[in-house]
Amino acid sequence: MAFGQIMKLKTAAGLQIELAPFTREEAVVFVGGFERHSISQYVTSRVQTKETEEEWYDAMIKDQTSCIWGIWAVENGQRRLIGNSSLTHISTEHIRQAVSGSIIIDKSYWGKGIASACHKARTYFAFEQLGLHRIKSAVLQPNIGSRKALERSGYTYVYTERNEKFVNGGLVHVDYLECLNPADWAWRQWWGDDRPPRKSLEARKKTAAVLAWVRENVELA
């Protein structure tokens, strides 16, 4: 599967973003990116060198259960790779689900609505293109901004794993969230005869609004 469908969009602030493939050579932008922008506290990252990034890239494009996009900022006609977004562990049998993740390595692009816009486009792809029932995501507790971005896209909190990750010399709790496909067919299959809790019903409305926003604002290439 490797790369997902190209999607072009604008954030609420008017910044043009593309979710699109990137080459092996372009992937080296991620080397040291976490440390350069002091964001290693928010991620559990492998040791990064040019060689490890190339190995990661080679493995990623062969993985038939993953789908990844480069996050490109387009300014003054120039494209700049500022991060990536992904769906991994994609299952299309029985429980149709995937695990989502995003990282914006350049801190100067934080707080501009990019992560939220990318979450929305990725959610659309997962539900409308792949027909998944659920998307799961994990967030280190110090990364409050990422959790809020997910919740704005219809994700709901499920549970916390205490002391789940060792980051920067200390143990960190991890919050787990999920987003459910709001379509009637998926909703019926997921819940069956059970009554969904109020938070899930509220999240369903948010996710339906997200999908409607993507249909109006995202160009699929």
For 2-220, give the CATH class. alpha beta
Pairwise CA distance, residues 209 & 24, whole Å: 36
Show the tokens assigned to 82: 């500022």
pLDDT digits (tens, 9 = 90+) for 145-193: 889 889 888 899 999 999 988 877 889 999 999 999 999 999 999 999 9
Residue whose token pair is 């299952």: 91
Q: What confidence score (pLDDT) does residue 40 get? A: 47
- pLDDT tens-digit map of 50-75: 888 888 889 888 999 999 999 999 99
Average pLDDT (16-42) is 74
Bridge-based pairing of strands 134-140 and 97-104 is parallel
State the CB neighbour count (10 A cutoff) for residue 55: 12
Question: pTM for this one?
Answer: 0.89
With pLDDT > 90 as the criterion, what percentage of the chain qualifies?
60
The Cα diameter of the chain in Å comes to: 53
Residue 105: what pLDDT?
85
